[in-house]
Structure 1
Amino acid sequence: MQIPQLKMESSFARLGLNVTKATHEIKQPQAEMNLRQQPAELTIEQARTELQIDSSQARANIGIMTPMQFSDSNASYGYQKAMQAIAEKSQEGDRLMRIHTKENAIAAIGRERGMRVLDSGYSPPASSGDEGVDISIQLKPVVINVRRNGMSMDPVIRPPEFTYIPGKVEPYILQQNSLKIEVVGSQLDRMM
């Protein structure tokens, strides 16, 4: 006797996947420095040099004197003549006092005075070797001022830009699953 048997055939489902990869982008915008350099300031001050020329002594040497110089010159000449006269009188007095020398002092002094040539009077002072011109120069230094104004910076910082697109996975069926059952060995062959 034939026992009926079940015959089964199955197939598994096969899946397919559509994968879209994720994208990740990073952009770094360039920063702005915004530098400003202020120009430096330079000031130079040149003071005037002073030149002084004094020709009063040179003028006095050729006889052109200022009233003060003329007054000083006359006073000096008068003082010199007064001292000379005092010296002469003192010497004459000493000679008259020496009686013991048996010199006729009064006659000798009279003879000397009579033979003396009279001066012409006042004569201006002799000229100096350097012509009497005084030159003086006062040099004044240059004053230099430097002012540094420096630099100013105003940076603009830009953050990085991120762009992210997530990936996708889409499944699809390549083959459906199936189950086939057959009864074998019986008079009825049926398929379910």
Structure 2
Amino acid sequence: MRIPQLRMESAFAQLGLNVRKPVQEIKQPQAEMNLSQKPAELTIEQAKTELMIDSSQARSNIGIMTPMQFSDSNAAYGREKWLQAIAEKSQEGDRMMRIHTRENAIAEIGREKGMRVFEGGYRPPSTSNDEGVDISIQARPASINVKRNGMSIDPVTRSPELSYTPGKIEPYMIQYNSLKIDVSGSQLDQMM
């Protein structure tokens, strides 16, 4: 006798997914610095340099004198001649005092004075090797002023640009589930 058998065939459901990934885009626009530099101001002031040239000594050396120099020169010449005259008179007095030498001192002195060549009076002082020009320079320093005007910064910031496309998942059925049951070995073969 045949024992009826129960045969089952089953198939699992298969689910498929269509996946669209999300897309996120970030763009960062460049910022602007906007720097501006104002030029510095530089001022330089140069004071005048003083140059003094004194040629009075050089003029005096060649005989061209100022009134004061001429007066001083004449006074020195007069003093010199005065001292010479005093010395000469002193010597003449000493000669006349010596009567024991039997010299006729008065006649001799007169003859010497008569024979003396005329000396010519005033002579200007002799020239010197020194040029006699005094030069002096008084330099004054330069005045330098620097004014810094600085710089200015005016930054412009920009926010990032965001764009987002959300993802999407769409399910679909690849295979539906199924169950087949067969009964065999009985008189009746039936499908259920």
TM over 0.5: yes
- Aligned twin of 1:136: 135
Q: Given residue 23 of structure 1, which amino acid in structure 2 is its aligned partner? A: V
Identity of aligned residues (%): 65
**d(CA) in 2 for partners of 1:17 and 1:64?**
127
* Range that drifts further, 156-165 or 47-56: 156-165
Q: How many residues align?
A: 190
The alignment yields a C-alpha RMSD, in angstroms, of: 3.6
User: TM-score scaled by structure 2?
Assistant: 0.71
- Aligned twin of 2:12: 12
**What's the CA shift for 1:71?**
1.6
Q: Given residue 189 of structure 1, which amino acid in structure 2 is its aligned partner? A: Q
Given that 1:58 and 1:131 are in contact with CA atoms closer than 8 Å, whether structure 2 keeps it comes out as: yes
User: Is residue 2:121 matched to residue 1:121?
Assistant: yes
**What's the CA shift for 1:150?**
8.3
Change (3 A) 1:3 1:147: same
**d(CA) in 1 for partners of 2:98 and 2:168?**
155
Secondary structure in 1 aligned to 2:121? coil
- Aligned twin of 1:98: 98
**d(CA) in 1 for partners of 2:57 and 2:80?**
21
**What's the CA shift for 1:12?**
0.9
**d(CA) in 2 for partners of 1:173 and 1:146?**
88
**What's the CA shift for 1:123?**
3.6
Change (3 A) 1:125 1:188: closer
User: TM-score scaled by structure 1?
Assistant: 0.71
Q: Given residue 175 of structure 2, which amino acid in structure 1 is its aligned partner? A: Q
**What's the CA shift for 1:25?**
4.0
User: Is residue 2:77 matched to residue 1:77?
Assistant: yes
Change (3 A) 1:142 1:178: same
Q: Given residue 142 of structure 2, which amino acid in structure 1 is its aligned partner? A: V
- Aligned twin of 1:189: 190
Change (3 A) 1:141 1:190: same
Q: Which runs of 5+ in 1 are unaligned?
A: none
Change (3 A) 1:163 1:103: farther
Given that 2:41 and 2:149 are in contact with CA atoms closer than 8 Å, whether structure 1 keeps it comes out as: no
**What's the CA shift for 1:177?**
0.8
Given that 1:15 and 1:171 are in contact with CA atoms closer than 8 Å, whether structure 2 keeps it comes out as: yes
